Copies of this chain bind each other. A is one copy, B any other.
């Protein structure tokens, strides 16, 4: 099921306002926020919440498979409530991080397996460039 409270209870985890806020924020954004961004965004609603709680919650959500951690090369992680490991697109212009269509992934894996004898299990794929908006604005 998709109801967070039920999932947490099933696992013997407590349902706290902070946890609900964090997972709900992640589920309602496409921005792939960092812990810091989550923290700041929720600060208005939870002024006393600490960054440590955000990290602990994210750790827990990772462990129960509700969230995945991304590393697009920024020195801090980003988080994604979409847990199937889909490719990402990162814009050099505006730093947005977009998802790449899932069906693209199948095609990519098909290509790779032509070139390696590895038994492939997972992947972290980051494509960098300019998003449709930025590629028009930019000079070169």
**A residues bordering B, Cβ < 8 Å?**
71-73, 87, 89, 91-92, 98, 100-101, 103-104, 107-108, 111-112, 114-132, 135
Pairwise interchain contact B120-A127, C-beta atoms closer than 8 A: yes
Pairwise interchain contact B114-A104, C-beta atoms closer than 8 A: yes
What are 29 A-B pairs with beta-carbon distances under 8 A?
A71-B71, A72-B124, A87-B112, A89-B118, A91-B118, A92-B121, A98-B118, A100-B116, A101-B116, A104-B114, A104-B115, A107-B111, A107-B114, A116-B127, A117-B132, A118-B129, A118-B131, A118-B132, A118-B135, A120-B127, A120-B129, A121-B128, A121-B129, A121-B130, A122-B127, A122-B128, A123-B127, A124-B124, A124-B125
| Other-chain contact of A124, B98, B112, B121, B128 (Cβ < 8 Å) | B128
Pairwise interchain contact A124-B122, C-beta atoms closer than 8 A: no
Given A108-B108, A112-B104, answer yes or no on A127-B118 (Cβ-Cβ < 8 Å): yes
Query: Which secondary structure characterizes the binding site on chain A?
Result: mixed
| Other-chain contact of A119, B112, B120, B123, B130 (Cβ < 8 Å) | B130
Q: How far is the CA of A101 from the CA of B112 in the complex (A)?
A: 9
Q: How far is the CA of A115 from the CA of B109 in the complex (A)?
A: 14
Q: How far is the CA of A96 from the CA of B91 in the complex (A)?
A: 30
Pairwise interchain contact A123-B122, C-beta atoms closer than 8 A: no
